[in-house]
Each structure stands twice: as structure tokens, then as C-alpha cells.
Chain A
Amino acid sequence: MFEWKWDFVWEIMPRLIEATGNTLLAAGAGYAIAVVLGLALALGQRTPYAVVTFVVREFVEFIRSTPLILQIFFVFYVGPQFGIRLSPWMSGMIAIGLHYACYLSEVYRGGIESVAKGQWEAATALNMTTAQKYRRIIIPQAIPPALAGMGNYLVGIFKDTPMLSVIGVAELIHTANAIGSENYRFLEPYTMVGIIFLAISLPAAGLIRLFEGRVRRKLGL
């Protein structure tokens, strides 16, 4: 039986807290990329050009059905083969941002499709351009129904950041691996990482639900 040592836990906590910062930063930056790129991918499937719709649709399907960890490796290792060197952070953010952009594009698509047809017709009747229609009429109404899905993927991206450890991003699991092999103790670092994940993702999920409810009430839904 292996004994749990509290003084070892206190000794490694500063490093784990620093790594938590990196994890949150990676999740935040990846999500920011995904939110913007996801919208582009959603709108890309609504152009009048069938070829564009087809290509974007297949691309989203491809990214969604292949493992994120493989995509991370792909971005990190393939660049140098063509003379583009990306830092682990850069390639990690590209891979995770793109992966979640594809998920978010589906959420946006659902939101946009849920806007009543009359809204489009009314916007056309008011002689709005396509850009105006989206920006002023459609997107504001598409966001509230998409909020729940968007929130789930925010928590999802946070839980997927450990995959960045494979290319050397110093997030929680990477740090726990390092602590474990330096001290030959894996119990405390891995357990603490699990607890830190729980301590962040459970309240985050609750907060997101709260926020979603408030937005819905404010918009009178």
C-alpha cells in the first residue's frame, strides 16, 4: 500500500497552480479561436455556391471524426517538413482551435436554422444586404439557442487540453508527468490534477447554466 503524503502535496502545489494557469490559458485561447473560426465555418456552409458548401461540410466532418491528439501531432510535425516551424503553443492552439471550431460550427448552424423564416423575409422586405441580415437580425437571434452547446464545448476544450502535453505544452498533465518522474511519486500529482479538473469544470458547468438562464430571461425567452 502506498501512502498519501500531504507535505509532498504542499510541495508540488505551486507548480501545479502555475500549470493550471497554463491549462486555463490554453483553453481560453483555443476557445477564442474556435468561436471566431466556427462562425466562419458555419457561414461557409450557407453560401449560394454548392461547391463551397460541400467542401466546408466535408472538412468539418473530417475534423470531427478524427482524434484531436492526431491532429495536434499533424500540425506540430508536418509544418517543419515544409520549412514552417511552429512552437508547441502555436501548433497546439491551431489544432485545438480548429477542432473545436468544427464542433462550434455545428452549434451555430443549429442556432441559425432555428431562426424563423419570417425573420429572413422581413429582413429582405426591409431591403437589408446579406451582411446586414446576418449581423443585425439573424445572428443575435441564433446565439441564445446556441448558448448551451457553446458552454458545453468550453468545458470540453478545457478537458481536452491535457492532449497538448504530448507536444510539450507545460499544462497540468505535462507538469504532473514531470513531477512524477523527478520524485518517483505518481499518486499525488495525478490525483491532484484530477481534483483540480473537477474543481474547475463542475463549478464552470454550473456557472454556464446560470449565465444561459440569465441571457434567456433578458431576451424574454
Chain B
Amino acid sequence: MSLIDFVAQFWPRLLSGAGVTVAQFLLAAVLGVAISLFMGLMKLSTNPLLKGAAVTYIEIFRGTSLVVQLYWIFFVLPLFGITIEKFTAGYIAVGMNIGAYGAELVRGGILSVPKGQWEASLAINMSPAQRMRRIILPQALVNMLPPWGNLMIELLKGTALVSLISVADLMFQARQINATTFLSAQVFGAALIIYYILARFFVTPLMRWLERTMSRKMGKV
């Protein structure tokens, strides 16, 4: 069976799988960005307690494997009475994992803002919160967007692992079709191409557009 015949026959399942993958990606991205921001700021805090909490979080999530984190959240947390539905467990695990990597990017981005900017905002009597929100973070964002592009691709790839806890994403559908038809080359080939299209023609252009828009807003172009 050729790849085209195969896609013509199985497109509804591939499409529904891709839809779940995109949903997992978007939810995990929102969670990941929020965690990155919190943990990145906490790691820069002078309060040892906040800083310690952020360092612990980052080291644990970067030091272990996403598969381990996913299984822990899905299979072990229920033993402590926290039962999370598999779809939710999926994007929470992926988002928390990416958040740990993103936190380092946020930290690096903030540290890359020139010292004069901090001093100037102090001189015009801004509160620390104002300074961060209005002066430092926007500039930090422009500096850290390029590595975020790579991280978003990692995030998209990471969502394929939620199939291990039977979330019906693209990877899961591909495995199911493979198990019933044994058309391995076609099904895994089609899935590879769909992931590639998502990464190359959606995620990457979106991040490039964000980079351009942000640097234009900051008057850098």
C-alpha cells in the first residue's frame, strides 16, 4: 500500500491524533511558560527559601527523564490520593518538564539585560515589581526568544511521550494502526511527516514571527 493510499484510508484517525497532539502542545506550552517565569524569577530571588525551592525544582525536573516524571505523576500520585485524568497528567508532566528548562532561559534572559537599565529604573523611583514588569522582562523576552524556539520544538516532541499513558495523541494512534494493520512503514512514516510539518511549518514560523514582532516593538530592527 502506498503512503498516499494509506493516508487516504486512515486520515481521520491520524487527524484526530494530531488534534490531540496540538492540544497537548498548547496546554503544556502555557503551563511551561508560566512555570518558567515563576521559577526563573524565584531562582534570581535574594530570599534563600524561594531560591532553594526553584533550584530544587529545576534540578529534579532537569535531572530525571520526562518518561519517569510522566509515570510518577500518572501512576504514583494516585497512591497519595491525587488522581489525575490521563489527558491532564500528560500535559502537566510535559509542561512541568519544559518549565524547568525554560526557567534557566528566563534567568539567563533577565541577567542579560544591561545593568544600566536596572539603575535607571531605580533612579526614576520604580518599585521592584514595576521595574521587572515594565523595564526588565520585556527586554529579557527579546533576548531569550531564540532559544525558546528550540525549546518549543522539544516540547512538541515531548508530547509524543503522553502516548505511553494512553492519551490518544498522534503517536498513540500510529501505534494502534500499526498493531492492527502491520503497515509499519506507512503509518510511522506518515506520523513522522505530520510531526515534521507541525514543527517546521507551524511552531518554527510562529516563534520566528514572535521574535520579529517583539524586536520591532522594542525598536531593535
In the complex, A67→B153 CA distance in Å? 9
B6 within 8 Å of A by Cβ? no
Q: How far is the CA of A213 from the CA of B191 in the complex (A)?
A: 42
Number of A-B contacts (CB under 8 A): 116
B72 and A198 form a contact (CB under 8 A): no
The answer, among B59, B76, B153, for a CB contact under 8 Å with A190, is B76
Instruction: Report yes or no: A70 in contact with B64, Cβ–Cβ below 8 A.
Output: no
Interface majority SS on B: helix, strand, loop or mixed?
helix
- In whole Å, how far is A125's beta carbon from the nearest beta carbon of chain B? 37
Q: In the bound complex, do residue B174 and residue A73 qualify as a contact, i.e. CB atoms below 8 Å apart?
A: yes
Q: Mark B94-128, 1 if CB is under 8 A from A, else 0.
A: 00000000000000000000000000000000000
The reply on B200 being an interface residue by CB < 8 A is: yes
Q: Any chain B CB within 8 A of the CB of A129?
A: no
* B207: interface (CB < 8 Å): no
B192 at the interface (CB under 8 A from A): yes
With both beta carbons as reference points, the residue of chain B lying nearest to A185 in the complex is identified as B79
Task: Give the residue of B66, B69, B81, B160 whose beta carbon is less than 8 angstroms from that of A70.
Answer: B160
Chain B residues with Cβ below 8 Å from A77 are 178, 184, 188
A163 to B171, CA, bound (A): 13
- Docked complex Cα distance between A193 and B70 (Å): 12
The A interface is mostly helix, strand or loop, or mixed, namely helix
- CA–CA, A81 to B189, complex, Å? 13
**A191 at interface, CB cutoff 8 A:** yes
Binary per-residue interface labels of chain A (164-193) against chain B in the complex, 1 for a CB within 8 Å, 0 otherwise? 011000000100100010000011001101
**A64 interface hit (Cβ, 8 Å):** yes
Task: Check if B188 sits within 8 Å of A70, measured CB to CB.
Answer: yes
What distance in Å separates the Cβ of A190 from its nearest Cβ neighbour in chain B?
5
Taking CB atoms and an 8 Å cut-off, the chain B residues in 122-141 that contact chain A are none
- Quick one: given A2-B79, A201-B63, are A65 and B188 in contact (CB under 8 Å)? no
Which residues from 43 to 95 on chain A have a C-beta closer than 8 Å to any C-beta of chain B?
61-62, 64-71, 73-74, 77-78, 80-82
Tell me the minimal C-beta distance from A155 to chain B in angstroms: 9
Contact flags B165-181 to A (C-beta < 8 A → 1, else 0): 00000010011001000
Say yes or no for A219: interface residue by CB 8 A criterion: no
Contact for B79 among A74, A187, A205, CB less than 8 A = A187
Q: Which are the 4 A-B pairs with shortest beta-carbon distances?
A: A67-B160, A65-B199, A77-B184, A2-B79
